[in-house]
Amino acid sequence: MTEFEARGITVRDVAPDQFIEAYAAHLKNSDKFELPKWCDVVKTGRAKELAPTDPDWYYVRAASIARKIYLKPGCGIGQLRKMYGKAQRRGAMTNTSTDGAAGVIRHILQQLEEIKNIEKCTKGGRKMTRMGQQDLDRIAGQCSKKEENDED
């Protein structure tokens, strides 16, 4: 019998929470990705009352945005704002949906462009570069191996 050759592990094959946690740790350890000065005081959307309490929230959001662009190329700031939006509670009136903060998303996209993980599409939005896709797939492979070791 012939041996079964395993295919490469991609971001789609790994659980989202495990991948985002691993990629956020990778971004935090790399010296290319920097936190802005306003990171500890900014809100992530109009419907929020306070800034996030997790000190590493910026890296987690950047990893999540990178994953969303990997899965859906051509995604722009407006579409990402809708994805990270939430329902705004307005007291006795009905809830309405609000978008996430565009400045945070824009800054993260600019940072990911600087480290050559994403690039602008010709038709608008952003897409992963070849180097960025290899980087994300490598981290997904590490998550998959860690998951297999935990099962054994």
- 13-39 pLDDT, tens digit per residue, is 889 999 999 999 999 998 888 888 998
Residue-wise pLDDT for 48-101, tens only, equals 888 888 889 999 999 999 999 999 999 999 999 999 998 999 899 999 999 999
Q: Quick one: which H or E segment has residue 77?
A: helix 77-83
Which tokens is 48 given? 């929020």
For the chain, give percent helix, strand, coil, nearest 5: 50, 10, 40
pTM, 2 dp: 0.88
CA distance 32 to 60: 16
**Measured between alpha carbons, how far is residue 63 from residues 1, 7, 23, 67 in Å?**
42, 24, 6, 6
